[in-house]
Amino acid sequence: MLDRPGNSVARLIAALDTADLAHAEALAAALAPRCGLLKVGLELFTAAGPEAVRRIAARAPVFLDLKLHDIPNTVAGAVRGLLPLRPAMLTLHAAGGTAMLAAARQAAEAGGAARPILLAVTVLTSLDAPGLADTGVAGSPVEQVLRLGRLALAAGADGLVCSPQEVAALRAALGPEPLLVVPGVRPAGSAAGDQARTATPSEAVAAGADWIVLGRPLTGAADPAAAAVAIAESLAA
């Protein structure tokens, strides 16, 4: 499995959120030397399929962010089907429950030492407290993140995906061992877009994030590579 990042460049995950594989490859070429991983998410995967992972993986390790969520047998089958692509990280929804997460972990073990890091997505960064309440969850986002985080780790997940606003609470409750991957990160002055729970890269890392996921602040920049360099330098300062 992938080791924890050892420097500020390795902490960065560039999200290639596009349906255009050629554009994704161009972004990957520019960003791979300046980031630790490249994210293939649902948009690119549904448009270009496994070939997108193969091509992007030729540039850098892939964070395959599909947020698998189904009955345990189906998720286990999906994990087995993805293992030949050798993603470095793979996401599942923690809300799928203990049996689903455990089935995913069992299926992933077939990958041996090269198996992906299994990350359980807690509460989507687009949800604020009212949005979470609309789904029937009465507690605050941080309460739900902690609840799902404990469940997921007990079921065999290697780490969690959470917003920057829950990182400190997870570290306080769960300690240094769980791997934390944090989207919803926005450099100072950037538009939040559809992200409801955000922080700057430095704030997220200071709170205890292992990796931070950056999409539009990189891919929407006039010079994505320069934007990645600037963020890495801000973390190293």
Question: Active-site residue 39, yes or no?
Answer: no
Contact status, residue 209 vs residue 4, Cβ threshold 8 Å: no
Whole-Å CA distances, 59 to 28, 94, 194 = 7, 29, 29
Least Cα distance to 67 among 110, 118, 32 occurs for: 118
Closest CA relative to residue 102, chosen from 64, 157, 179, 144: 157
* Residue from 11, 39, 67, 186 carrying the catalytic annotation: 67
Sign of CA dihedral 225, 64, 61, 151: positive
Computed on alpha carbons and rounded to an integer, the radius of gyration of the chain in Å comes to 17
CA–CA separation, 192 vs 184, rounded Å?
8
Q: Which residues pair with 89 in a beta bridge?
A: 63, 117
List, by residue number, the catalytic residues.
67
